[in-house]
Structure 1
Amino acid sequence: MGQKKKKTPSNVLGTNRKARFNYFVEDTLECGIALQGTEVKSLKESKFSFTDSFVEIIRGEMFLNKLHITPYDFGNIHNHTPDRSRKLLAHKKEIEKLEKKVNEKGFTLIPLKFYLKNGRVKVEVGLCRGKKLYDKRETIKKKDQNRDAERNFRNDY
């Protein structure tokens, strides 16, 4: 008989809310991230910014660009550089599959969420397609309608 894996509660460090507004997310992938020295401590303190960051596939490897991790306050001369390109860890077949979609269909890879899983920092990367201006307006309109409906529902009861 197969054993069921226990789902561990993930500790979310940060989410990229702007990405869901600017892009349609078609697919997601959980990746590890290669970090140096004090970067993990800065990430755990949520001292990072990834609003403009993106993932690039170069020679079969995934790299996360424009992720700014603030240097750790209690670090020493061996502190990390804040804006370096960081390697993402995923299986080769998954990377090849994503690379095909990015190259042929005009998709982009964008980090959606950073979280801790079993003490390790993970990144949720989304395969995204850009929204047009009218799509963004429609998203805002739906959000406003849902908010108004919720407000009316609360006021009625």
Structure 2
Amino acid sequence: MSELRWDEVADLFDPDNGILPDVEVTGTTVADWQTVFDLVRARGWQHRYVPEVGEAELPAAAEIFAGGTVLDAELHVLPAPAMVAIFRFYRAETVDFDVHLEELQGQGPLDVLCGFYRDIGRALGKSVVMTFEGHRELPMIGYDVRLDRVVRLAPPD
């Protein structure tokens, strides 16, 4: 069961707010990225690593970041069959990914999303924050590491 109720956050999940909200964990390292990769495998989440060209097995995080920033590679993770999180390797210092608002309509998908954020936040010991697409200064919801739960971060509508 989620900490959030759909009727408390539905206004934040309107696709008219932007289709791909930004999600980030700040203050990370290459080791934190590896922790995320290990979590994906341990949870058995379907995933697909898409390097700049083609498709490949997910390498070690150190290999991905060996040359610095990797702008064109992505990791697609499915915490549920109808939900995808797209991780991008902009910099080792921030775990960045997007989710699709269209896939997050209703209590069931919200519960999956909260569990996904909670798993990542607990594994890293860091907060996970979802912001409006293109507006990282406007938080929506997030896993608060101090409270050990997902909370609404946006002011009430």
| TM-score bracket for this pair, using the shorter chain length | under 0.3
Q: Normalized against structure 1, the TM-score is what?
A: 0.23
Q: If you compute each CA radius of gyration, which structure gives the higher value, 1 or 2?
A: 1
